[in-house]
Amino acid sequence: MNNKYPTALLTLGLGLAAVLPLLAIKAQTKKTSVATIPLDSLAGIEAVNGSVEIVSYNERRALHLSPPPNHPPADDAMLAIVNATDFRNGTIEVEVAGKPRTDAPADARGFIGVMFRTQDHGARGEDFYLRPTNGRADDQLRRNHSVQYESMPDFPWHRLRKENPGVYESYADLQAGSWTKMKIVVSGSKAQLYVNGADQPCLVVNDLKLGDTRGQIALWSHSTTDGFFSNLKVSPTE
């Protein structure tokens, strides 16, 4: 009996048996790990335009981002950059609580959010942020401005609103000072924002202004905001 083909098949089978585990190992080594950062320590945090401290807020330890002492009223963004991060694509999850400071002007909204693909100590980056006091306002137009995308330095919120009304901001149910879950999903030049575990995004951006770049992750708030952050989780896809 001619056993040429069974031998060949046996050899091929043994070859696949040897190769498949190697492919699995290669896939495992290529897969990036999930980083969970409770934000109960200032280790590895770089503050920009603000002060950071660890406090107890609403029954948990959290990172508090606020303006420096004797800071004059100004239209400034504050950042707490997570230095160890290098993010391109994937998912960012964090809990935030923002409310206007007691000395804030009447148009303060408790602005708070996340900047991603952050470069040059915050001079460049993409960010999604919330306007918590808009979430349950009696004015529908204010409600429509509850969540916002902007890209620094060339596409701040006011330019995007002027040139593309309603495209880069939307509504979400928010409460000032309450813990709010943010989830940002980024892929190439697209990003989506989910709030409080919703199945569908409340804001979709299909043309991130910096393009397909990478950079650090930063916690973001405004100088008129008392901002609190907890439970940062980063799940990169590459």
Confirm whether pTM is higher than 0.75.
yes
**Cα–Cα distance, 154 to 160 (Å, whole number):** 10
d(CA 159, CA 156): 6
The residues pairing with 185 across neighbouring beta strands, listed in sequence order, are: 91, 192
Separation of alpha carbons 150 and 116, rounded Å: 11
Mean pLDDT of 135-154: 98
Q: Average model confidence (pLDDT) for the chain?
A: 89
Q: State residue 238's pLDDT score.
A: 77
pLDDT in tens, 37-94: 999 999 999 999 999 999 999 999 999 999 988 776 667 899 999 999 999 999 999 9
Per-residue pLDDT, 74: 67
Task: Please give the share of the chain, as a percent, with pLDDT higher than 70.
Answer: 85
Q: Taking 70 as the threshold, does the pLDDT of residue 9 lie above it? A: no
Domain boundaries, the chain: 1-31, 33-236
Query: What's 33-236's CATH class?
Result: mainly beta
Q: Which position has the higher pLDDT, 15 or 218?
A: 218
* pLDDT tens for each residue of 199-219: 999 999 999 999 999 999 999
pLDDT at 12 over 90: no
Average pLDDT of the segment spanning 215-224 = 97
Identify the band that residue 13 occupies on the pLDDT scale cut at 50, 70 and 90: very low
* Contact predicate 51/101, CB 8 Å: no
**Looking at residue 6, what is its pLDDT?**
46
Q: What mean pLDDT do residues 17-24 have? A: 41
Q: Give the span between the Cα atoms of 202 and 95, in whole angstroms.
A: 16
Per-residue pLDDT at 72: 67
Cβ neighbors of 37 (< 8 A, separation 6 or more) are 82, 232, 233, 234
Token pair 């050899």 in the structure block, residue = 11
Q: Is the dihedral of CA 164, 192, 74, 85 positive or negative?
A: negative
Q: Which two tokens stand for residue 180?
A: 């709010």
Per-residue model confidence (pLDDT) at position 33: 87
113: β partners: 129, 220
